[in-house]
Amino acid sequence: MKKIVLVLLSIGMLLSCSNDDDDNLLTESPNPIDSGLARAQKNGKDWQSHIYAIQRNETSNYFGIILSVYDGEGIRRQSLGFINLEKDTLTATVKPSSSTDDRLNAALFATLAADGDVLCDVFEVYEPDSLTNTITITEFNERTKEVRGKFNVTFIKDTERRPCDPNAPEFIRFTNGEFHTELINDEELEN
């Protein structure tokens, strides 16, 4: 599961460590596959990101979404990923990406360093908040591939990794999150 989340994050990094980048969202994304925006409260402050949704192939019933924040130079600095979202499920509880059950909805938040391709601080879903760690698909249009939804999720810093930013908070809490994007197929990226 963790490998899948890291692969999804890496795809975004190839196409595209400061916590102060929230106010510096580029109006236009440097990543050509970003196809929408997301907004939330991150630790009580307004936060917004670019977003894309991706599925393995046209017939897959599962997809993932990647939310990215870029700095003023177009370098990706934050990434929030949700995987194994089922098109037919309206609301799902989100679990840590380190879970051993590959069928679970999972999420991971990370800050990025250097030119946006180096994981900095990594945050896993905080399981004691399992009742509020949710993602809701409010609309999925099979014809247009539009996806809309809401999310609330709390993350805790992964202390097994060497810290990148000593001032990074222990917890990251996203509340009142909303997103709108279009689903693309993994196969389309290969062309």
Residue 99 confidence class, pLDDT cut points 50, 70, 90: low
pLDDT of 104 reads 75
For residue 82, give its domain range: 2-189
Encoding tokens for residue 54? 């991706």
Whether 96 shows a pLDDT value over 70: the answer reads yes
Per-residue model confidence (pLDDT) at position 103: 63
158-188 pLDDT, tens digit per residue, is 988 888 888 999 999 999 999 999 999 887 6
pLDDT for res 18: 39
Which pLDDT score, from 0 to 100, does residue 15 have? 37
CA atoms within 13 A on the CB side of 36: 21
Main-chain phi, psi angles of 133, to 5 degrees: -85, 85
Q: Are the C-beta atoms of 43 and 182 separated by less than 8 Å? A: no
On the CB side of 67, CA atoms within 13 Å amount to 24
pLDDT tens profile 63-91: 999 999 999 889 999 999 999 898 877 88
- Element holding 12 (H helix, E strand): helix 2-15
Residue 80: strand, helix, or coil: strand
- Which residues neighbour 166 within 8 Å (Cβ) at sequence distance 6 or greater? none
pLDDT at 25: 55
Residues 6+ apart with CB under 8 A from 94: 82, 105, 106, 107, 125, 133, 134, 135, 151, 153
pLDDT in tens, 116-131: 888 899 999 998 877 7
Specify the pLDDT at position 100: 61
> pLDDT tens, 7-66?
444 444 433 333 444 444 556 788 889 999 999 999 999 999 999 999 977 778 889 999
Tally the domains of the chain: 1
Cα–Cα distance measured from residue 59 to residue 135, given in angstroms and rounded to the nearest whole number = 22
